[in-house]
Chains A and B, each alone.
Chain A
Amino acid sequence: MPLQDLTPELRTRLSRVERAVGAFVLLATLLLLTGFVYYLRHTAERKGWFIPKVSYYTYLHTGHGLKAGDPVKLMGFDVGEITRVEAMPPFEEYDVFVEFRVKSPYYGYLWTDSKVKVAAADFLGGRYLEVTKGVSGKATVKEENQNLFLLADAGKGLYEPVAKQKHYGLEAVESPAVTDQLQAMVAKVEAAMPGILGITNRVNDVLTSATIAITKATTAITNLDATVLGARPVLTNLTVITSQLRDPRGSLGEWLIPTNINRQVQTTLTSANTTIVNANTNMVEIAAVLKRTLEDSAQITSNLNAQVQANSLILSEISTLVIHADDLMQGLKRNWLLKSSFTGVTNEPVKSIVVPAIGGGK
């Protein structure tokens, strides 16, 4: 119904109500817009939309565990993010092109001798980029009159505006993911296992041979005892022997060492010589195998050390995570919506104790 059809009184009342509604809607819209603007500003500050940034790139052998949007670290700080991870064409020297941006003022730390380290982030194959601070090179970025200039030619010291020189290349120091390193370590251990088992088998053989040798030695001692016992008649017969020395058939050598004993002694000496030679050979092999095992062990410990060095940031990150989780929990405990869930049992206030007495007894 058109407004002109209403009575003046109703028209006045309606227009007043409409003005009130319009003012309310306007206020609500303004409130929403204010909130949205505040959110935008906060997000821009958080994400650093208005902070100057400079692009860098590097080449890697693999893009495993890296993706656009991942943070780039410098001295433990998040200083930028990866913007592009792309495979290079076939037959190129490098396999993967990685571009990343570093925000102000951190690009001031990046000099020509800065490196891009690709470190393992977790045990799930994740990796991250960490740029190192320059030590003795030239600054990659120069600021003049609030304009950014990127190094174009390190030899000539030539800088070009960022708009022209899009990015600067840094050398990469790539380490494989934790899982790959672990896999390699397991493979090495697996490869070393036959050698270790071989050693144990050989040690077992040596011990068996030693046991046999000891058994034989025991038998020899027993035989020697019997021989000593048997030598007593020899002394008795010594006079007879000496008296017969002048007999051409009773010469000294033939009397002391008969022909059969001489043969047995020679056989025994030959066997002993063979045993010693075998033992020597076995010892040489054992020593060689032990040396190999020690080398493998040293390699394993070296790998473990490298692993620990590569993942030095994990502990600090876990510590940070725990602190943040604690902050979150404390915040939730104070939130008006959730704090009732965390209220503990309160003790009854302490008061003076008096109980009524039953008369008579006490």
Chain B
Amino acid sequence: MRGNRGQKSEVRGQKSFPLLSLFSLLPSAFSLFLLAACSSAPPPPVLPAAVAQANHAAETAQKLSANENWSAAVREWQNAADRYRLLNDRANEAIALHNLGQAHRAIGDLNRAHALLEQAADLNQQLGHGDEGWRNQIALLQVESQAKQAAALDARFARLTSSPPPGSQPQLQGLFFNELGLWHQRHGDLAKADEAFHQASQTFAKAGDRHGSAVVLANRARLDEAQRKFADALEKWGEARTRFEALADPPGIAASLAGEGRVLLGAGQNLPAAETLLRRASESFRTLKMNDDRADALRSLVACLTAQKKTAEAAEVQKALDAFCASDAPARE
């Protein structure tokens, strides 16, 4: 009987304890809340003026690059690089030099771009920044490819393929494999190119890079086109165009339109549609100042018009193409 009473009392004690402790906690909790609410963090440290100026120059340059205002971007990246050099901030100096090189590349000064990218690569190698160094190397591959420096490109690929980018950087891997695929394709090794593009596609998908995936798809379509697999190529170009349209990427859309037109022309199907696609692509390339691509599109358009026996129009486009090539040649020099 005593035991039963004791058990009941224990149960009551257990019930009343949380209530009591809750009431006793209230003033303490309120005091703690007041103390915490009234406390304030120390003000954030103020950046030195020189650092703030350098960062500001780099941010401005980045915006100019994003807006493709290349001449202004060159000026600002140079400013940022100079400021970071004065501060001996070599990591940011390497980034500024890299982006300065990319801006020079965009305005067609490939030699200067190459030199700047090499400087950035050297700095990153000294600092042991592998990821940034890989970005420099990939940009150098693109510049050498664009400048048609085959020997330098081969030597660089021979050096880089022995130790590809680490698996922890799928985006870098995607960029590298994409360039590798293009290199193999240029050498006529289409099977290796297909394999490289497949790897690039997988790594871009792993990195969640939608633009990279769309680019690889376009390159695979071009590979199918080279292999005269027109049905596959047409399908891939269509899908690539859809992806570029979703990403609102004008160069990609123009390349896809040109690719679809070329494939239809190569397959000898629906030539009026091919003509329309090539005309639209040519106009887009003209607006984007992508002269080589525009010349290719115009050549395809001439062939398309000739195939349709529109000789007058073909002659007119050929004339425009000749005039364009004549005006573009001095600009390159």
Contacts and interface: CB of A to CB of B under 8 A. Distances in A.
Interface stretch (B132-140, B156-164, B268-276, B322-330): B132-140
* Residue from A13, A347, A359 whose CB has the most chain B CB atoms within 10 Å: A359
Given A350-B92, A362-B292, A35 B24 contact: no
B58 to A, nearest CB: 4
A-B residue pairs, 10 tightest by C-beta = A361-B293, A356-B215, A359-B182, A352-B98, A334-B40, A352-B135, A28-B28, A350-B58, A7-B6, A25-B24
Nearest to B36: A336
Interface residues of B, number: 71
* Residue from A6, A356, A361 whose CB has the most chain B CB atoms within 10 Å: A356
6 contacts: A21-B17, A336-B41, A350-B59, A350-B80, A352-B99, A362-B292
B59 A347 contact: yes
Contacts of A318: none
Given A1-B9, A24-B21, A347-B59, A360 B99 contact: no
Given A1-B5, A353-B102, A358 B218 contact: yes
Contact of A14 (B13, B28, B65, B290): B13
A351 B43 CA distance: 28
B212 interface: yes
* Residue from A24, A32, A357 whose CB has the most chain B CB atoms within 10 Å: A357
Interface of A: 1, 5-7, 10, 13-14, 17, 21, 24-25, 27-29, 31-32, 35, 330-331, 334-337, 339, 347-348, 350-362
Given A28-B27, A352-B136, 4 more contacts: A14-B13, A17-B13, A21-B24, A356-B200
B314 to A, nearest CB: 22
B2 A7 contact: yes
Contacts of B8: 1
A339 B37 contact: no
Contacts of A334: 40-43
A342 to B, nearest CB: 11
A1 B6 CA distance: 9
B153 to A, nearest CB: 13
Contacts, number: 139
B292 A356 contact: no
Contacts of A25: 24
Nearest to A334: B40
A358 B252 contact: yes
Interface in B287-301: 290, 292-293, 296
A360 B174 contact: no
B142 interface: yes
Contacts of B266: none
A6 B28 contact: no
Interface string B123-146: 000000000100110110010011
B19 to A, nearest CB: 11
B162 to A, nearest CB: 21
Contacts of A339: 41
Contact of B211 (A336, A353, A355): A355
B167 interface: no
Given A347-B59, A354-B135, A31 B31 contact: yes
Contacts of B2: 5, 7
A14 B132 contact: no
Contact of B145 (A337, A347, A352, A357): A357
Contacts of A352: 94-95, 98-99, 120, 132, 135-136, 139
Nearest to B66: A353
A6 B175 contact: no
B283 to A, nearest CB: 15
B9 A6 contact: yes
* Residue from A6, A25, A28, A352 whose CB has the most chain B CB atoms within 10 Å: A352
Nearest to A350: B58
A353 B65 contact: yes
A357 B179 contact: yes
A1 B7 CA distance: 12
B215 A330 contact: no
A5 B3 CA distance: 9
A28 B24 contact: yes
Interface in B174-206: 174-175, 178-179, 181-182, 185-186, 200, 204
B255 interface: yes
Given A21-B20, A352-B95, A32 B178 contact: no
Nearest to B136: A352
Contact of A35 (B31, B138, B142): B31
B248 interface: no
Contact of A10 (B9, B21, B41): B9
Given A28-B24, A31-B28, A339-B41, A356 B296 contact: no
B216 interface: yes
Nearest to B138: A354
Contacts of B6: 5-7, 10
Given A5-B9, A356-B175, A331 B40 contact: yes
B219 A330 contact: no
B39 interface: yes
Contact of B222 (A7, A347, A354, A360): A360
A356 B251 CA distance: 12
A31 B12 CA distance: 29
A358 B31 contact: no
Nearest to B139: A354
Contacts of B154: none
A317 B95 CA distance: 51
A358 B255 contact: yes
Contact of A359 (B12, B37, B58, B219): B219
Contact of B142 (A14, A28, A335, A357): A357
